[in-house]
Amino acid sequence: MGVSRGQSALSAFYRRIRAKHGPGVAIVATAHKIARIFYVMLKERRAYISPDTTVYEEKQKERAIKHLQHKAAKLGLQVVPTAA
């Protein structure tokens, strides 16, 4: 639950999943993500380097755009980005 109040990439992940699926699913998904990070840290014997929240959100935005372009292509449409 501490992750839900923070300003890290894990916090952004928690908030994104909570908005989509609710708080219960978000807690389990975030705990699973933390467990996977911890496992890799132990297995590869390296320190955890937390990505910046802005980097995480930018990657998420790129994934969403790519998904929309793929979905539009299936429907025979084309997505054209415009300046905000």
Ranges of the chain whose pLDDT falls below 70: none
Its pTM stands at: 0.69
What are 13-35's pLDDT values in tens digits? Answer: 999 999 999 999 999 999 999 99
CA distance 6 to 2: 7
* Cβ atoms of residues 59 and 52 within 8 Å: no
* Cβ atoms of residues 7 and 53 within 8 Å: yes
Q: Give the three-state DSSP class for 62.
A: helix
